Chain A
Amino acid sequence: MTASGNSGAGPGGSTAGEWAVELAGITKRFPGVVANSDIHLRVRTGEVHALCGENGAGKSTLMKILYGMQPPDEGTITVDGRQVRFRSPADAIRAGIGMVHQHFMLADNLTVAENVLLGAEASHGIGAKARARIQELAGTVGLRVDPGMLVERLGVADRQRLEILKVLYRGARTVILDEPTAVLVPQEVDDLFDTLRTMRADGYTFLFISHKLDEVRAIADTITVIRRGTTVGTADPKAVSSRQLAEMMVGSELPTPETRESTVTDREVLTVSQLSLAADDGGRHVLEDVSLVVHAGEVLGIAGVEGNGQTELVETIMGMRRGAHGTITLGGRDISHASTLHRREAGIGYVPEDRTRHGLLASQPLWANRILGHQSRPPIARGPLIDRAAARRDTERIVADFDVRTPGVDVHAAALSGGNQQKLVVGRELSGDPVLLIASHPTRGVDVGAQTGIWEELRQARARGLAVLLISADLDELIGLSDSIAVILRGRLVATADPSTVTPEELGTAMTGAGSGPNLAKEGS
């Protein structure tokens, strides 16, 4: 071990110019595929190094190699100047590398301290010494909860800090963070970044995997871009724009989400009036007096911090939640009490916010997924029967028109990458001439290439007269695609904005209820 090999409060002892991790010539082949090819990555000690790349570019494979979950076929891994060979994550942990997975690996029914100690009893025992160490590290990662608290009572942000604490407790000085901001709201992202900066000052090194380019630029000291399994270059976040980064990732010029000309008509497609919904426990309202109108050819964007009633609004319009008051009309027809299937038959397409939970049948082939939501309508249905040939034909059409990258329509939905799954969902929901599309976070967790494709499809459908209700946490997307924007806060629509004049900052302010800017109109009561 070199100079940085002490195990005090911080890793300490780092000298400028020393590399915490060096990957050279890493190649990993799976049968028939080269997942990583000649990867070169050097992470300086005490920096936040971002790894960017599209979904499927090979980031996960690379991280699995670095964390000892898979051995590389070729290439070398050097940690703190010493060449290493990891046979398991335990080897990586011993070398001071820890990983925080995107999906937390915590036991809900154990306490904070128990979760930290589980499997790491050897380092400081389970007594007072361990407790003191946990307290000390809790300060480092900014986890301000009682170690005796049950994890099930922790919020997402605290759980993430606990995960970081876990790897630090095991002696990690280099921490891999896999898409850490995917689960956080903007405020929490800022808090996390503050913590990372403090820890960086203490000498910790971070490898930060993300495809949220603005965040990467906000936190990283160096950015390495990976495309199609290999590193395409390293960039300085201060000298590069998000656009340039994205272009490095996809290797082509990027269109912006802006819609060019207005296609809004005065024909009302969806009218929601005085919609209220009580929470499941019967207490407070999760929706209160929500009224909105979406016209043919119009995209109405709903802005809001997540958890302010967007999900409930969408699911109520889809008929998936019962017990709402108020009326919903579609093309002049009252559908307030219709079933989800009837609403779909009446012409509502629905891109759910969580495609794996609400949009797809993972272990069914693509053509069977085409049927979902269309099981009662032509061309899929013939009376009570399913026309499998027609379903396959129409799936092939979606695959071709929406650029779903798949070898065929017989592969299982789970075999596709997230972006291609989403394109399939969008293609399906735009099938059968819908009059209204409800799109919840249509490009979330989707790579830049697929994002561009989905934006283009939404624009074209809008030009054909489709009414779109767009819910998104991406304010650029919201401003770029919408013809008008409504802000939702604690279940109420509190303001409207004109996307041609409003700025993301003003929208952000309205979303937190801090007041309205010059380009925002308070919703009349």
Chain B
Amino acid sequence: MTRVRTVLVAPALAVVFSALLCAVALLISGDSPLTALRVMITQVGQGTTAVDILNSAAIYYLVALAVAIGFQMKLFNIGVEGQYRLAACVAAIVGGTVPLPPVIRTIVIILVGALVGALWAAIPAVLRAYRGVSEVISTIMLNAVATGLIAFLIRPDTFGALSGNNITTPPIPESGHFPGLHLGSSGTIFGMILVVAALGTGYWFLLGRTRFGFELKASGESPSAATAGGVDARRMVLIALLMSGAVAGLAGLPELLGRDYAYTLTSPQGYGFTGIAIALLGRNHPVGIAIGALLWAFLDKSAVALDVVGVPREILLIMQGLIVLSVVVAYEIVRRYELAAEQRRVAAQLRALANAKAPSPEGVSS
């Protein structure tokens, strides 16, 4: 199948290519690429690392999905970063202060997260749909605003409380936790991973089987053709960015509901930008993003393992950068090649057909 080839060949080549370049970089710096490779592979065998990779991948999957929804329509939601952080902060505050029974509390926290993410994305969405403001600019600026807003929300005189050197939101009681899968000494797999899998499936279904998904892809491919086909471009921009924000709003929750139970000054940052890289890597495809998220999480953990044996961890940053760069280039090359190949194939089959019907006296053969 051509499709499968297109989808798999490009990223596989890109990963191999980046690995080779990294091997060269390691050789130059005087380290053994083989040692590095062995360390990277054996670390997965340790239970804790495998669980960590899976948990990180779940979070990466959410941010990448959020970015991918925008990408489908050629909308560049750089604001995933601000959306997920603000959503996690507000969800933590609600979860820690509003008294609610078990299960309901968890569900409310998740809904609040999605809602806050969507609302934060609504600002660039409205600006883009009604005023034509580039979402790239507005979302970047809103990331900075979100940082300020979070700092305000977790101040001890608003919703936060001082805890040692840290400032934290009120802890979410047991009734609001999302139970995980305990694997003894290896750690705990986030229960939210089920929600992530459901979202991935939903995304796949939405994109391929629903009218909305078709309209989303059509708008992304050709806004003019979509408009002529009766797709309301403004409505699509609004919905796509709101959905993107809602999914982004969930990205902080696996850690919040499965490990930290509070939003603090030291809650993780930067996932939003990782999401952009993974969405590119996975080509906005639900399965591709999953593979990309796992690969990224694996490389992240490898950095720690390499540090232990004295190989500079920066090599992984180089590798991540190289992979994204080469994947984007490889996709484009393969896409062009496939299109040309298809055009030739179509022409060949038609010619064969025409010759079978009416053999040409000029002897055009194929």
Query: A interface vs B, CB < 8 Å?
Result: 30-35, 37-38, 56, 228-230, 232, 318, 320, 339-345, 350, 352, 357-364, 368, 371-373, 375-376, 381, 384-386, 388, 405-407, 411-412, 414-416
Contacts and interface: CB of A to CB of B under 8 A. Distances in A.
Interface string B222-237: 1011111111100000
Contacts of A375: 211, 214-215, 229-231
B228 A415 contact: no
8 contacts: A33-B344, A34-B351, A229-B364, A340-B228, A358-B228, A360-B225, A372-B225, A372-B226
B218 A33 contact: no
B362 A363 contact: no
Interface string B204-225: 0000111111110110011011
Interface string B323-366: 00000000000000001001111111111011000001011111
Given A38-B362, A415-B343, A33 B228 contact: no
B349 A372 contact: no
A32 B210 CA distance: 38
A363 B221 contact: yes
Nearest to B351: A33
Interface of B: 208-215, 217-218, 221-222, 224-232, 339, 342-351, 353-354, 360, 362-366
A340 B211 CA distance: 16
Contacts of A352: 228
A483 B276 CA distance: 57
Contact of B230 (A35, A232, A360, A376): A376
A404 to B, nearest CB: 11
B232 A386 contact: no
Contact of A320 (B228, B344, B360, B364): B228
Contacts of B226: 372
Contact of A33 (B211, B222, B347, B360): B347
Contacts of A405: 350, 353
Given A32-B344, A362-B221, A371-B214, A228 B228 contact: no
A364 B343 contact: no
Contacts of B339: 363, 412, 414-415
A318 B364 contact: no
Contacts of A344: 229-230
Contact of B346 (A363, A364, A372, A415): A415
Nearest to B211: A375
Contacts of B209: 385-386, 388
A201 to B, nearest CB: 36
B347 A56 contact: yes
A361 B221 contact: yes
A228 B345 contact: no
Closest 7 CB pairs of A and B: A341-B230, A32-B348, A373-B229, A372-B229, A407-B349, A358-B228, A340-B230
B335 to A, nearest CB: 8
Contact of A357 (B222, B232, B360): B222
Contact of B225 (A35, A359, A407): A359
Given A34-B366, A359-B225, A386-B210, A412 B342 contact: yes
B366 A230 contact: no
Nearest to A360: B225
B364 A34 contact: yes
A31 B210 contact: no
A358 B232 CA distance: 14
Contacts of A381: 211
A32 B345 contact: yes
Contacts of B225: 357-361, 372
Contacts of B215: 375
A373 B344 CA distance: 29
A407 B210 contact: no
Contacts of B210: 384-386
Contact of B366 (A33, A341, A359, A368): A33
A449 to B, nearest CB: 11
Most buried by B among A344, A345, A352, A373: A373
Contacts of B222: 357, 360-362
B218 A32 contact: no
A385 B211 contact: yes
Nearest to A31: B344
A347 B362 CA distance: 47
Nearest to A345: B230
B230 A34 contact: no
Given A228-B364, A339-B232, A364 B221 contact: yes
Given A358-B225, A415-B342, A407 B350 contact: yes
A393 to B, nearest CB: 16
A358 B218 CA distance: 11
Nearest to A361: B221
Contacts of A37: 362-365
B346 A416 contact: yes
Contacts of A232: 362
A386 B366 CA distance: 39
Contacts of A320: 227-228
A406 B364 contact: no
B211 A372 contact: no
Contact of A386 (B214, B347, B353, B365): B214
